[in-house]
Structure 1
């Protein structure tokens, strides 16, 4: 399979408050490139979000704004590109809201949610959180809620599912964004 995986962490419940983002590139089921950046959201942080991901306001003071990060990754978001995430509605929403916040047109791409594929392929699991699915599949999730580690784990989940169930079982779950 060829796709990219993405993950965002946010400063608060506001979708346009991205504080970190990661993208990994998978070609022929192999991770071939990765990108990670802290992002200055120019907004206040919710203590609960800090507790989840550990990113403090001081950590992003000198970080780039999202439009600068976008310049480095926007080439991956094309109408024929598959972009996956674990809980894709959240990550797609953060991307769209953050781009909208800065007046940047949102791209169109193909999207796949590995929470959804995991529910279909592993209904016996107690839940379908990233750490639960990763553990069940023997995937090392080093630091849960670190955008890069979460992105790598989501990519490995999809590669494992493609190997176990075949790409034809996955294709019907792809959506156009």
Structure 2
């Protein structure tokens, strides 16, 4: 039977998270759904239920989540819980770890002749890749271990809770708020060409927290610096942009750590805030 922890009189959540498990290769064959609402960085409500997919159970999928046809005897169909799911997701910001859950819900709505759920989607995989680019994988179980979360992988409620905490931790780690994560990623263009002369002629400068085709990059290039995409063996300076989105956690960023590692190896690389290098250029 569906299980729900919710207080209707509470204010609405900042965002909700949904995760589904499927019975077979058919993306519409939802056999479990978990929904978790978050408010002020904490769980506000939870909803979970097994679902009769009205479809077969494949041995492959059973091996992933352990749910069999016996488990869903007497469970509601997706059509029967559509209104509840819509009441939690509709008109809100909905997080899912990859686009799979979004596709599964859409397919289930079609199969069960239910209206599409209108919500604003946010992919926590994309968020995690931007927040922690140094990780070798951004699968939910890997992120849970990295963040120290208690997590039962491929249980829909636990997966939803973990994906929500990825968002909470990413906001805290980077300083980017929910609206910032929802904003489309800016496509970075080519770096400006270095001027033939200037006080930074011969310097290879990487920028953390500002686009390599933005105003800071143009000022550096005008002073003769070659603006590079990332910190490497030949980089001479890492500039920390004033508007960089990593807040006090900038020292945890992969580019910063790479620069520090090169310094320890004896490489002549300096790390400067934007204000300092701007002041140096202004003073001549």
Tell whether the structures are fold-level matches, with TM greater than 0.5.
yes
Instruction: Say if 1:84 and 1:114, in contact at 8 Å, map to a contact too.
Output: yes
Structure 1 position 33 matched with structure 2 position 54: no
Which has the larger share of helix?
Answer: 1
Alignment partner, residue 68 of structure 1: 80
Instruction: Say if 1:3 and 1:83, in contact at 8 Å, map to a contact too.
Output: yes
Alignment partner, residue 101 of structure 1: 111
Secondary structure class of the residue paired with 2:47? strand
Q: Distance in 1 between matches of 2:182 and 2:76?
A: 35
C-alpha displacement at 1:45, in angstroms? 1.0
Structure 1 position 161 matched with structure 2 position 170: yes
User: C-alpha root-mean-square deviation of aligned residues, in Å?
Assistant: 1.5
Q: Distance in 2 between matches of 1:73 and 1:103?
A: 15
C-alpha displacement at 1:107, in angstroms? 2.1
Superimposed CA distance per residue, residues 101-138 of structure 1 (whole angstroms, 9 cap, x where no aligned partner):
01111022110111111111111111110000111111
Q: Find the partner of 2:121 among 111, 116, 124.
A: 111
Q: Distance in 2 between matches of 1:70 and 1:173?
A: 29
Superimposed CA distance per residue, residues 23-74 of structure 1 (whole angstroms, 9 cap, x where no aligned partner):
0111122211100000000111110100000001111121111112222221
Alignment partner, residue 147 of structure 2: 137
Q: Find the partner of 1:85 among 90, 96, 101.
A: 96
Structure 1 stretches of 4+ with a deviation exceeding 6 A read none
With the length of structure 1 as denominator, give the TM-score of the two structures. Answer: 0.91
With the length of structure 2 as denominator, give the TM-score of the two structures. Answer: 0.58
Q: Distance in 2 between matches of 1:42 and 1:171?
A: 35
Instruction: Say if 2:131 and 2:173, in contact at 8 Å, map to a contact too.
Output: no
Instruction: Say if 1:4 and 1:23, in contact at 8 Å, map to a contact too.
Output: yes
Secondary structure class of the residue paired with 1:70? helix
Instruction: Say if 1:117 and 1:173, in contact at 8 Å, map to a contact too.
Output: no
**How many corresponding residue pairs?**
171
Between 1 and 2, higher relative CO (CA 8 Å, sep ≥ 6) is seen in 1
Instruction: Say if 1:11 and 1:44, in contact at 8 Å, map to a contact too.
Output: yes
